[in-house]
Chains A and B, each alone.
Chain A
């Protein structure tokens, strides 16, 4: 365990020594703020319209249309948008994890230390995940500030954050696997984008497939499993899907490390 944590610490030092970490954190903070303000603006417009209609007695005072509240109009869409930002930044974080070791030839030092392939892969994977927890923590700031100023149902918000963490877990392992297989960081990032986008939503394929294939494709789509969290539904199927994807990617990255020693 100590050896794995040593690798985690080294990777985090390397991550925070590179501009990519700060670009990712800034991108997350900026995009979250923009999404939040944009959603808030749309919410305010609807409130103003409602007030106008109330003034002209088109609807009764105090009558609020269903779904028109801060939670559903502002916070939930903002948290959902975060998933797309994560999809954009995770390949940038993971692209160098294995690939850079090979291009800079530091792998010769790492692979001759008393570290097993599992410890190396786990160290890199955990470091990426710890960083992504920080990214998701930034995403949770706006809901937290809103909750301090108004009464909010925290259940769906906490479930959404859990969904984002599970999504990060799965996307990080896809990114790490691509980094373990690719020869250059650019190829690693592009292939991670390609795989992530490919599994994001398979619904377009369902037009050409039968019922059984439809069900399989629907199960394999990331979007299918992200839908429940913003509604406060934490399903075991979704947890199994994301952790399965994460562990699968991690194991394949570990295997590719073992194969590297044979070559």
Chain B
């Protein structure tokens, strides 16, 4: 493993019954990188993120995040990461402020620190108008930003974002891209997306998953930018179509 790697994955497998959702996945992500996870639906992106965040356990292989083992030191890893799930669902009975306080409290932030961070995030993510509204009742765009704010309230070392712009309008997508750029100044960001242009514009390196296996891994330039990655997608699509017929 390389010095300075924040995420180290080696020989990772995840099985759901007879199905290999992830098969022998090995890669590393360096400190301060914005790393893209790409793949078609069902390629294993979300499963990979769920394992990296401790939500699910791997079937085999080793995963280290922030220098710690995801199974043996799961709590310590979860203290150092932030996670924005795909289609974030928030507690319907907590206000946005209540939700951010809850997450801040779990992360052990002092009352004063929580207050200042909530004010900072509300202004940074444009949550002022909804801060005392019930989080679960906010619009999709707001829910995405609230979830992102909750993921970074404790200033984590690594932030995992699962399709953060899915379902957002162009303006909201643009705002989210700006937030990701700002996040990357302080944290390592792992971004899962369908959107090749998004990954091309935001990420320095990317991994393309195909049926749970690594199809391509490297710097965006090495992969040929968005068009090069699109070619990988086209090839896997053609292959799947051929197998169906």
Contact = CB atoms under 8 A, between A and B. Distances in A.
Interface of A: 2-3, 6-7, 9-10, 13-14, 17-18, 104-106, 108-109, 111-116, 261-263
Interface in B72-121: 75-76, 78-79, 81, 83, 85, 87-94, 98, 102-103, 105-108
Contacts of B50: 108
A108 B55 contact: yes
Contacts of A114: 75-76, 78-79, 106-107
Contacts of A109: 83, 85, 88-91, 147, 150
Contacts of B83: 108-109, 112
Contact of A13 (B98, B103, B136): B98
B193 interface: no
A13 B106 contact: no
Interface of B: 50, 53-57, 75-76, 78-79, 81, 83, 85, 87-94, 98, 102-103, 105-108, 136, 147, 150
B75 A108 contact: no
B89 A261 contact: no
A14 B147 CA distance: 19
A61 B57 CA distance: 79
B213 to A, nearest CB: 22
Contact of B57 (A14, A105, A261): A261
25 contacts: A2-B105, A2-B108, A6-B105, A6-B106, A7-B106, A9-B102, A14-B93, A14-B94, A105-B87, A105-B89, A108-B55, A108-B85, A109-B85, A109-B88, A109-B89, A111-B55, A113-B78, A113-B103, A113-B106, A113-B107, A114-B75, A115-B78, A261-B54, A261-B55, A261-B56
